[in-house]
């Protein structure tokens, strides 16, 4: 009997299984160990209702030739939606460069729907004109309300304005692609981000000295870069914790979770000090809280303590 999971044949030896239901029950733990769930089932090319097992679970397997199982991961829908957004903005950029008013109008008509959906996908809580679309809205705002700009206006815009709009769109695409990779490969992206942060530590430890010597701008740029990387690391920690069963055996999920919670609390303090312009507190947090907290978290991400 040929058994395929997501179109890949697997080795499976019948032991005490006599029905389709027993085979599926035997395979389910293996599938769930990879952070996936069964979404569709077919026996000899006959689609069976996965949510109504009473109609198929007692079917004998003596005459069965093929069992096909399809699975879904916890983030498949978001990955698909992010892919659709990447395609939308790619078309937006192309129609701008081609200066085709009707096609630009078609893209602009979809912008309100994109605006409504992109924030939740990226976990943003900003107001409608904030977040990842802020730069795009700023450029469009030069022609009036962002949602009332016409294709003729953009097609006739000076080259420098079209290039500025294209640059904003390309940055959006990069953000969407990065988030899509996070959802598709959270463990690998976590390890990669941890390695980057490991190397970035040398830049952060110098912040207190920079602040003390009046080099505030350099210090703030380093803090901004660190905050972006640390936020991504924490987001990825949350994703891999969602997939805890898929973590490597040498990882310690409880320690990882504690380290992430501690660093998250420290980052909130840093944001408060940053907003208040309290450079003394910023320096103290970096020296006594952030660097030790980051080092503690990275030691629980095996790839994080290795140089790239």
Q: What is the mean pLDDT of each run of 10 residues along the chain (308 residues)?
A: 90 87 92 85 94 92 92 87 96 94 94 90 58 88 78 92 94 94 90 91 90 91 90 90 72 88 91 87 91 89 54
**Rounded to two decimals, what is the model's pTM?**
0.71
Given this model, what pLDDT does residue 123 score? 75
Spell 227-265 as b/e; 16+ CB within 10 A means b: eebbebbbbbbebbeebeeeeeeeeeeeebeebbebbbe
- List, in sequence order, every residue forming a beta bridge with 69; answer none if it has no partner: 5, 41
What domains appear along the chain, each with residue ranges and CATH number? 2-73 (3.10.20), 77-181 (no CATH), 186-305 (1.20.120)
Given this model, what pLDDT does residue 308 score? 38
CB 2 within 8 A of CB 67: yes
Given this model, what pLDDT does residue 122 score? 86
Given this model, what pLDDT does residue 129 score? 41
């Amino acid at each position: 009997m040929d058994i395929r999971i997501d179109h890949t044949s697997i080795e499976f030896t019948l032991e005490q299984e006599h029905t389709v239901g027993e085979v599926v029950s035997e395979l389910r733990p293996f599938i769930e160990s990879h952070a996936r769930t069964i979404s569709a089932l077919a026996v000899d090319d006959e689609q069976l209702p996965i949510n109504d097992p009473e109609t198929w679970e007692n079917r004998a397997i003596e005459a069965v030739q093929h069992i096909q199982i399809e699975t879904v991961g916890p983030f498949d829908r978001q990955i698909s939606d992010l892919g659709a957004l990447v395609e939308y903005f790619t078309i937006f950029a192309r129609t701008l460069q081609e200066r085709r008013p009707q096609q630009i109008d078609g893209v602009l008509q979809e912008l309100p729907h994109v605006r409504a959906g992109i924030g939740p996908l990226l976990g943003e809580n900003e107001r409608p004109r904030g977040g990842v679309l802020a730069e795009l809205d700023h450029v469009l705002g030069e022609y009036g309300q962002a949602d009332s700009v016409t294709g003729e206006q953009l097609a006739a815009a000076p080259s420098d304005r079209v290039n500025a709009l294209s640059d904003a769109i390309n940055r959006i695409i990069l953000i969407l692609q990065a988030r899509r990779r996070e959802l598709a490969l959270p463990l690998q992206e976590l390890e990669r981000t941890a390695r980057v942060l490991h190397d970035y530590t040398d830049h952060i430890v110098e912040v207190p000295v920079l602040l003390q010597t009046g080099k505030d701008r350099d210090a703030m740029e380093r803090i901004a870069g660190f905050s972006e990387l640390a936020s991504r690391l924490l987001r990825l920690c949350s994703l891999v914790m969602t997939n805890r069963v898929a973590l490597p055996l040498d990882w310690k999920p409880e320690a990882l979770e504690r380290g992430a919670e501690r660093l998250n609390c420290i980052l909130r303090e840093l944001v408060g000090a940053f907003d208040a312009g309290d450079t003394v507190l910023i320096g103290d947090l970096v020296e006594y809280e952030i660097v030790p907290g980051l080092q503690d978290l990275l030691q629980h991400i095996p790839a994080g303590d290795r140089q790239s």
